Amino acid sequence: MLALIIFLVLIVLILIGSPIAVALGVSSTGIFALLGEAGNLPIFAQRLYAATTGYTLLAIPFFILAGNLMNTGGITNRIFRFAKASVGHRWGGLGQVNVIASVIFSGMSGAAVADAAGLGMVEIKAMTENGYDKNFSAAITAASSTIGPVIPPSIPFVIYGVMTGVSVSSLFLAGFVPGILMAVSMIVVVYFISKKRKYPRQPKASFKEKWISFKGAFLSLLTPIIIIGGILSGKFTPTEAAVVACVYALFLSMIVYKEIKLKDLYQILKTTVLHTVKTMFIIAVAGFFGWFLTYLKLPQMIITSLTAITTNPTALILIIIGVLVALGCFLEGISVLLITIPVFMPIINQIGMNPIQFGVVMILASMIGLLTPPVGMCLYAVASISDVKIAILSKEVLPYIIGIFIVLLLIAFIPQLSLFIPGLFM
C-alpha cells in the first residue's frame, strides 16, 4: 500500500507539470517526514552528495560537451555527406543515410537528444529538399537518434554502471550488437515505406564523389575509433575517453575545420553546463529516492508480489519490460533508470539474469520511451526543429518503435547478443 501511495504521488506531480527532480524529491522526502522521520531529513543532503560524487559520473558533462562541439563545429555535416555518398542511391536512400549517420555519431556523443537536435536539422532539411515527406523525415530522424545511447559511448550506460557497480566498459561493449540490430530494423522499415510511397532515389555517387566525402569526413570518423579503441586497449577509462572526445572535437572544430571561433565557446559551454546541471540534479535526488525505497524495503515487497504471481523467469522478464516501457511513456529515460534500478536489480539477481544483459534491456526499453508521448524527449526535440505536430509524429514513428521492441525481446531472451563481445574483451 505504501509503495502505491509513493508512486501515485510521484505520477500525479509529474502529470501536473512538476520537474522530475522536484517530483522525486517531494514524493520521497514528504512521505519520509510523514512517517515520523523528519528528524532524519539530513540524510537527504547526504544522499544528494553521495549520488553525484562518483568518478565515473564525470563522463556525463564531457560527453555532453563533445556532442555540442560536434554539432557546432561541422563534424555532423561531414558525417552526413559521407553517409549520403555511400548509400543515398538506394530505396529510401536518405532515410538510410539518416540511420547510418546516427550510428556513426552515436560513437561520439552518447546522448539521443544530442543526436536528434544536432544531426536532425541537417537530415530533415536534406530529405525534404530531395522530395521526402516532412512527416517521414522527422519520424526516421527521431527514431534513429535512439541508437545513440545504445552504441558506445553511452550516458545511460554510465549511470547504470555507477548505480549497480557493473563495469561501464563491459556495458559499452554489450551495446554494439543491439545498436546494430536497431539500425538494421530501421533500415528495413525505411526501405519498405519508401518503396510503397515511391520516394525519389538519389543518383549513385561516383567513386570520386565518395572519395571526396570520405576525405572530408575521415578525421571525424576517427572519433569513435579513438574513443572505443582507447577503452579496449586500456589506454583510458570511459571517463577519460569522454575528455579525449572533447579535446579531439575541439581540435577538429577550431584548428582543422575552423568552424568554431573563440567567442562561440561561451555559448557552447553554457549549453553544456545547463544540460549537465539538469541531468546531475535528477541523479542527485534519485539517489535519495532509491535509498528511501530500500529503507522501506519496497524492493523486497515488490519481489514478493511478483513472485507470488509467477516464479517463471521468462514471465518475470516480460513483466519488467512491460513496466519499463509503460513508465517510459510518462518519464524521461534516465529517470526511469534511476527509479527502477533499485527495485528490479534484486529480481534480476534472483532469477540469475546477467546484470550486463539487463543493463542493455533497460536502456533499450527507455529508448522506446523517448519515442512515445506524452514525455518522448526525442519526439519533442524533432518536432521543434521540423514543425511536425507531436500527434502526427507519434503515428509516423510507430513502425520504428515496433522494430526496437522486437530487438528488445531478442536481447532479453538471447543473452549472447549482448554478452558475446564483452566476453571476448573483458
pLDDT tens-digit readout, 290-339? 777 777 777 667 667 776 787 788 998 998 898 888 777 766 677 778 77
Phi, psi (5° rounding) for residue 351? -90, -5
- Give the pLDDT mean for 93-120: 66
Distance CA 43, CA 155 (A): 27
Instruction: Please state, in angstroms and as integers, the Cα–Cα distance from residue 349 to each residue in 21, 171, 214, 298, 341, following that order.
Output: 28, 17, 46, 16, 12
Return the SS3 of 257: coil
Instruction: Please state, in angstroms and as integers, the Cα–Cα distance from residue 409 to each residue in 164, 184, 403, 405, following that order.
Output: 22, 15, 10, 6
Neighbours of 363 (CB within 10 A): 30
How far apart are the two ends of the chain, measured CA to CA in Å? 43
Is residue 109 scored above 80 in pLDDT?
A: no
* Predicted local confidence at residue 50, as pLDDT: 77
Name, of 7-11, 139-143, 184-188, 255-259, the range with top average pLDDT.
184-188
Q: Which set of grid coordinates corresponds to residue 135?
A: 512527416
- Give the pLDDT mean for 89-97: 73
Instruction: Please state, in angstroms and as integers, the Cα–Cα distance from residue 328 to each residue in 64, 71, 376, following that order.
Output: 22, 27, 8
* Predicted local confidence at residue 358, as pLDDT: 95
Average pLDDT, the chain: 80
* Predicted local confidence at residue 60, as pLDDT: 75
Name, of 68-72, 120-124, 265-269, the range with top average pLDDT.
265-269
In the chain, the amino acid numbered 256 is V
Q: How confident is the model at residue 66 (pLDDT cuts 50, 70, 90)?
A: confident
List the one residue out of 421, 407, 419 whose CA is nearest residue 187. Answer: 407
Distance CA 326, CA 323 (A): 5
More confident residue, 358 or 107: 358
Q: CA-based Rg of the chain, rounded to a whole angstrom?
A: 21
Give the 3-state secondary structure of 269-290: HHHHHHHHHHHHHHHHHHHHHH
Number of residues in the chain: 426
Distance CA 238, CA 426 (A): 14
pTM: 0.73
Distance CA 64, CA 112 (A): 11
DSSP state of 311: -
Coarse DSSP helix, strand, coil percentages of the chain, rounded to the nearest 5 percent: 80, 0, 20
Distance CA 426, CA 423 (A): 6
* Predicted local confidence at residue 163, as pLDDT: 85
* Predicted local confidence at residue 185, as pLDDT: 94
Q: How confident is the model at residue 415 (pLDDT cuts 50, 70, 90)?
A: very high
Give the DSSP letter string of 8-21. HHHHHHHHTT--HH
- Give the pLDDT mean for 163-179: 90
Per the omega criterion (within 30 degrees of 0), is the bond before 374 cis?
A: yes
DSSP state of 88: T
Angle (CA) 50 378 28, round 5°: 35
| Residue 335 CB partners (closer than 8 Å, separation 6+) | 20, 24, 282, 286
* Predicted local confidence at residue 218, as pLDDT: 86
In the chain, pLDDT over 70 holds for what percent of residues? 87
